[in-house]
Amino acid sequence: MLQVAGGTSLRWFQKEKINLSKHVNESFHEEGDWENLDADVYHWTRSLRPVQWYPGHIAKAEKELKEQIKLMDVVVEVRDARIPMATSHPQMDSWLGNRKKILVLNREDMISAADRNAWANFFSRQGIKVVFANGQLGMGTMKLGRLAKLLATGVNTKRRAKGLLPRPVRAGIVGYPNVGKSSLINRLLRRRMCPAAPRPGVTRELKWVRFGKDLELLDSPGILPMRISDQAAAIKLAICDDIGERSYDAPDVAAILVQMLTRLPAVGLDTLCKRYRIDSEGHCGKIFLEKLALHLFNGDVSQAAVRVLSDFRKGKFGWIALERPPR
């Protein structure tokens, strides 16, 4: 069930049972089939009540962030490498204006080399500077620090021309909840300066921290749109744990995840069945969860759903992205 603020809950499979068996023998032809998969995810979520998560601290943080952006020389936007489009704030570019931006795709260890190359080529063609990072292990953080300083070299050139003393470059770290902003900063600083945990909503206030003599970093709370109009993106946020768990019902989200995974050659239905030692001929996520629940959890579909979501987040099906670049 998907929870609606102040409303009711609705199980999507009560409105529409979806059988994807027609796709069993179809091959997956990269871009075209990724587009078809995106279209199917949109179709599966069509009968869902909207997934919305907008805690009170986000509204306050958004207002403060817009003010702090005026002080930034460089903006570092952090996205989840598994879902770069779904973790892109629709208003971010309008807030930034002409400020220089670095895009960080965090959790690069959770996607395949093919996924990484596809996104690297996509953003390169757009002229966007992108850094692939792993905030937990520190991969990509030093490159990020050097790039931020490089992009802002003109700041102190202009100050010297005016007879002013140089100052540290100011870089703001922005992005959706739980994409790893605080972890990146802590790795850059090599010490825990910003609270970080693997759940959305841990950072609740803006905080400037100094990195050496040349760089200041602003850690900010995750910023979401007040209304998420793209519900296919909202489901992906739920799958990747980038949105509060109170905003969705695990069985609904896990059922859609199962249907997505059965379509991806890197996983497929056989991999799911072998992992959980169950038989399932069709690709209906609801039926798969019901069988898994009977096999392992005494019929408790909610526990089965939590297991599937947890296994995906831990890479038990392999490290794969849920999105590929649009054409």
pLDDT of 116: 95
54 in Cβ contact with 60 (< 8 Å): no
Give the start-end residues of each E strand in the chain: 2-3, 9-10, 74-80, 100-106, 130-133, 169-175, 207-211, 215-219
* Residue 106 is assigned to a ligand binding site: yes
Output the pLDDT for position 195: 44
Q: Treating both helix axes as pointing N-terminal to C-terminal, what angle do 141-151 and 181-189 enclose, rounded to 10 degrees?
A: 90
The domain spans of the chain are 35-51+228-314, 55-219
Half-sphere exposure of 102 (CA within 13 A, CB side): 26
Per-residue pLDDT of the chain (327 residues; tens, 9 = 90+): 444 343 434 444 444 444 443 443 344 555 567 888 888 998 998 877 777 766 667 777 788 888 888 888 888 899 999 999 999 998 888 888 888 889 999 999 999 999 999 999 999 999 988 999 987 776 777 788 788 878 777 888 888 888 888 888 888 888 888 888 878 877 777 655 444 444 444 444 677 887 777 888 887 777 878 778 889 999 999 999 988 888 898 999 999 999 999 999 899 999 999 999 998 877 799 999 999 999 999 999 999 999 999 999 999 999 999 999 987
Does 182 show up as a binding residue in the annotation? yes
Q: Is 186 annotated as a binding residue?
A: no
How many other β-carbons are positioned within 10 Å of the β-carbon of residue 24? 13
74 assigned binding-site residue: no
Q: Taking a C-beta distance cutoff of 8 angstroms, is the pair 132, 81 a contact?
A: yes
Q: 178 a known binding residue?
A: yes
What's the pLDDT at 9?
Answer: 41
107 annotated among ligand-binding-site residues? yes
**pLDDT score recorded for residue 104:** 94
Specify the CATH architecture of the domain 55-219.
3-Layer(aba) Sandwich (3.40)
- pLDDT of amino acid 71: 83
**How deeply is 215 buried, as exposed, middle or buried, from its count of CB atoms within 10 A (0-12, 13-18, 19+)?**
buried
What pLDDT does 23 receive? 43
DSSP class of 142: H
Q: Is 316 annotated as a binding residue?
A: no
